[in-house]
Each structure stands twice: as structure tokens, then as C-alpha cells.
Amino acid sequence: MGACGACGLLLPGLARGQDQARGKALVDDTGYPLVEAKHYVRLDGKRVRCELCPRRCQVADLERGYCGVRENRGGTYYTLVHSRLCSMHTDPIEKKPFFHVVPGSQAFSVATVGCNMECKFCQNWEISQYRPEQVPARNVSPRACHGFAKTEAAPFIAFTYTEPVVFYEYMLDVARLSRQTGVRSVVVSNGYIEEKPLRELLPHLTAFKVDLKAFRNPFYQDLCAGRLQPVLSALQLIKKAGVWLEIVVLVLPTKNDSEAEIRDLARFVKRNLGPEVPVHFTRFHPTYRLQNLPPTPVSTLERCYDVAKGEGLYFVYMGNVPGHPGENTYCPRCNELLISRTGFTVRSNRISGNACPKCKTEIPGVWS
């Protein structure tokens, strides 16, 4: 399929120029379905308000919202990226990462361009911060997406790489087919989504991974152009809905790595989501607009790990440190090694049914 190993990008695109500010419509699309957006309201003067994510963009006629992939045409709001995939790749599910979802299985992973945040440390900025017209794409209907997953023998379709919230209509249409095809849907997201669309989506999902960027609102404002509180609300809603939830925290040196912040985060997870929700602390590598920071020291990740375990979380992981014992799953009761991993590779899986083989404690997750 000729794709980049990191994000499955089909072909390289052009950088977004200074003059191509968010909110300005560029050229009309051809060859892709123009699908009316969900979750918006019409305002006077042909304006609309998008109610998909907490930005709630008010968009004038022939303008686009912040994410650059939703456009107002004469007072009707459209998604420009339905079926317009810029990335398709089959990855180990550990790469998402999901560590408690059928270990060793494959996820057919898809994305369109666009994002509703702008993280200065984005690893996939070549597609998340671009316009549909700037990145080569392929027209893949929801049914064809399931067909690709079947061909790849992937039991999961993952919406990932960029921000699936901004291609919500496509994600929902694909996920709705899961019951028919048996290919289950999982989401990898920043969790920046309004309650109503999230409630509509959740019944069609098997698992949801949220990138919790930090546990301080100034970080969200300064480095992501977002807000923390809506993400915390989404986390609680996902957990309440019974969809399997994992959390990833990309640890940036000096930015979100203080012991107090990690402790607050762990306490929030334990109190509001439950100690069984896995939390992955992953290593940052300098990229995009944060090239001035060094990679996260492994000792910092180990401290995060210890703090979160000390606060009573059952499943804490370290990411982007292949070969570290922090990648493994241990029984929270007897500390038996259950799943051994190196990077995205599962070395051994000793979970028996859904329990520890030694003390028989049930291990939460989606194991089959």
C-alpha cells in the first residue's frame, strides 16, 4: 500500500502555508462523497455552529471550522473527509497502544487529515495539521474499509493517527457495520468531543484509547490549543458506557512530568475511572514544534510508573522503551508476570481465560 511506517501515510503532502489559515475554504472537492455533518445547528445569516467538539466553532458561509475538514455551504454543514482516507496500515494492536485488547492481534488502522487540537509535539503533524486538498487520499467507503480489514485478517479497525473526532461521520458509519461484519472498532483519540456525539458513538465501539496530554489546563491551552476538563468528562463517559478504556500520557520533560501532576492524574483515574484502567506513560522524542526538548529520560518514566503504582493503579505501563519490564503486564494481586512484551511484540501471554494462572484473579480487558 506504500505507506509510512509510523502513520500509514499514503504519500507525502505539502506543508500548510502561512496564508492557508484555519477557517478559510480552499477549493471544492471532487470524487469524494460530500456528506452532511452531524451535530451542528443552523444560525442566522447562513452561519452554523458545530457541536461535535468543545470548540463549538461558529462558521460563516463558505468557511471551515478550526479542524479544516468541515465546511459551511449555504448554511448546511458538510464533512469533507467522509471516505477520504490519507492513511491505511495494518498495525499490531499494541501500537495503538491497547495492552488489554486481544494481545498480539492486528488492527487495520485508518485516518483522514485533520485535528481539533494543535499539539506542538504532534508525531503525525504531516497529516493532522493539513487540509484535505493537501494530502493524497483514497476513496474508501465504510464497507470497503471492512473489506480491507478482512483481507488483512485484522479483527479490529482502528481510527487513529490523526484525530478521529473530526472524521466522526465516517467513523460512525464504519463502526455501525461492525455488528454485521464481525470486525470490531476501536478509537485512538484525544477525547476532545462533546457528550451527545460521544454517546451516539460508544455503543458501536469495543475499545477507546484516550491521549491524556497532561493533568494541568495551562498545558492544554499553551501546547495543544485545547482544554483539560472536556477530556476528563469524556473519560468518565466512556468508562460509564462500559467500553474498554486505556489512557496514554506522553511525558514531556519539564512540561507535564512533575511528581505532583502525575500523582493528581493517578488519583483522578483511581477515583473517577477505577484502578483497573491501564495508564501508559510513554517516552517523548523531539518532533514538530518541540524540538528544543530532550527525549524523556527513562528514569522520569520509571518515576511516573512508581507514583501511579503507589497511588493504587493496577496496570501501569511504560511506552517507547522497548525491552523495559515496564512494558509487561503483572497480576495486581500476586505480581505474577502475565504478558511479556518487547515494543509492539507479545513474547508470551499467560492469561488463562481472563484470569491470572497462579492466583486466579480476574484480569480486566477484552481477551477474545
Residues in touch with ligand SF4 (CB under 6 A): 50, 52-53, 55-57, 65-67, 70, 116, 166
For ligand SF4, which is the closer residue by CB, 108 or 192? 192
Residue 107 pairs with which residues in a beta bridge? Answer: 91, 156
Residue nearest to ligand SF4 (CB): 65
For ligand SF4, which is the closer residue by CB, 97 or 226? 226
For ligand SF4, which is the closer residue by CB, 103 or 197? 197
For ligand SF4, which is the closer residue by CB, 2 or 74? 74
Is residue 123 exposed (0-12), middle (13-18) or buried (19+ Cβ within 10 Å)?
Answer: middle
Minimal distance in Å, beta carbon 40 to ligand SF4? 7
For ligand SF4, which is the closer residue by CB, 55 or 84? 55
For ligand SF4, which is the closer residue by CB, 37 or 102? 37
Minimal distance in Å, beta carbon 83 to ligand SF4? 18
Minimal distance in Å, beta carbon 55 to ligand SF4? 4
Minimal distance in Å, beta carbon 52 to ligand SF4? 4
d(CA 130, CA 145): 22
For ligand SF4, which is the closer residue by CB, 53 or 172? 53
Minimal distance in Å, beta carbon 127 to ligand SF4? 16
Minimal distance in Å, beta carbon 70 to ligand SF4? 4
For ligand SF4, which is the closer residue by CB, 52 or 313? 52
Packing angle of the helix pair 142-151, 168-176 (nearest 10 deg):
60
Minimal distance in Å, beta carbon 62 to ligand SF4? 14
Minimal distance in Å, beta carbon 50 to ligand SF4? 3
For ligand SF4, which is the closer residue by CB, 165 or 321? 165
Minimal distance in Å, beta carbon 133 to ligand SF4? 17
According to the 3-state scheme, what is the secondary structure of the chain?
A: CCCCCCCCECCCCCCCCCCCCCCECCCCCCCCCCEECCCEEECHHHCEEECCCCCCCEECCCEECCCCCEEEECCEEEECCCCEECEEEEEEHHHCCCCCECCCCEEEEEECCCCCCCCCCCCCHHHHCCCHHHCCCEECCHHHHHHHHHHCCCCEEEECCCCHHHHHHHHHHHHHCHHHHCCEEEEEECCCCCHHHHHHHHHHCCEEEEECCCCCHHHHHHHHCCCHHHHHHHHHHHHHCCCEEEEEEEECCCCCCCHHHHHHHHHHHHHHHCCCCCEEEEECCCCCCCCCCCCCCHHHHHHHHHHHHHCCCCCEEEECCCCCHHHCEECCCCCCEEEEEECCEEEEECCECCECCCCCCECCCECC
